[in-house]
Structure 1
């Protein structure tokens, strides 16, 4: 073989390898952006579900004391203002703590009353929030894992990886046993 043919084969191989590298890099960047957008979507859906709790709890708050209403208003305001998963988790635990006595009191209300319906709606909303929390945490786990692998690690900063998990401290929510009054 002639030396010029070997040079052209070498140049062709380098061009093919460069194109393969470019394709891998661009696809990993696109995949990271898609996954980041998916996690952001999940986060907004979770936040919306958590913030709907204030409107659902209104019938329970109508029968509450002024102190309980004030605590609930403060807790809901903190939940709306929290931006990070840890801040939302703390605010969510506080909302659960504040609403627990009201929900327990609604248990003694007759079926069909506003308080009983609010209690059922809150239970359904809690189930939805828990499902959305798991969904968000799954997406965050996928994003964090992908951000640690090459070549995706080059684009991790562009999608704000790693993402924080949303974990509610249930120990604080059940620290005080329910009070039964006759």
Structure 2
């Protein structure tokens, strides 16, 4: 074998390794982009459901207020929690707001328990059902988001992805974890 043939073999092996490395980087980058977009989409789903719930709150307040107008502090707490939910930026803020919202909703439903006429109101019953439906959707959106974050964070942290993922602009994302897990362990009880 001549020196030239050995040189060509070395160059061929080197080029093959470069092609394999390029394909690996290309597929890993595209996978990270897809996961990143999926996490963004999941976060958007959470914000849509939180907004939907926040939009139900004024109707719920007005319905309960008609029966229990003297419960001003409860209504103020619910209104404050609603505003906090709408202003939340990112999972950490949303988690804190979520805990406050759950506590506020529990208090408004506790007030409603003292008014049998309210519990029989068609409007109140519809609002209860819409709220239960929304709470289920919030929980499903949270699970989808956290699943996407788990996949993305894992892919970023495994070797050899961890060697270049940060250089390509990919960083670990924050889970949507509620600060007071006991407060949101189950949706507000709305069945009387």
Aligned-pair CA distance for 1:80: 1.4
Instruction: Return 20-29 or 159-168, whichever deviates more.
Output: 159-168
Distance 1:24 1:160, change over 3 A: closer
Query: Could you list the per-position Cα deviations for residues 72-96 of structure 1 after superposition, in whole angstroms to 9, with x for gaps in the alignment?
Result: 2221111111112121011011011
Name the residue aligned to 1:34.
34
Instruction: Return 147-156 or 82-91, whichever deviates more.
Output: 147-156
CA–CA separation in structure 2 for the residues paired with 1:15 and 1:163: 36
Aligned with 1:57: secondary structure? helix
Aligned with 1:167: secondary structure? coil
Name the residue aligned to 1:96.
102
With normalisation by structure 1, the TM-score equals 0.86
Aligned-pair CA distance for 1:105: 4.5
Asked if 1:140 is matched to 2:146, the reply is no
Name the residue aligned to 1:66.
72
1:39/1:140 contact within 8 Å kept: yes
CA RMSD after TM alignment? 2.2
Aligned-pair CA distance for 1:4: 0.7
Q: How many residue pairs are counted as aligned between the two chains?
A: 175
Asked if 1:51 is matched to 2:60, the reply is no
Aligned with 1:12: secondary structure? helix
Which runs of structure 2 are paired with 1:98-177 in the superposition (5 Å)? Answer: 98-106=104-112, 108=116, 109-111=118-120, 113-153=122-162, 154-156=164-166, 158=168, 160-168=170-178, 169-172=180-183
**Structure 1 gaps, min length 5:** none
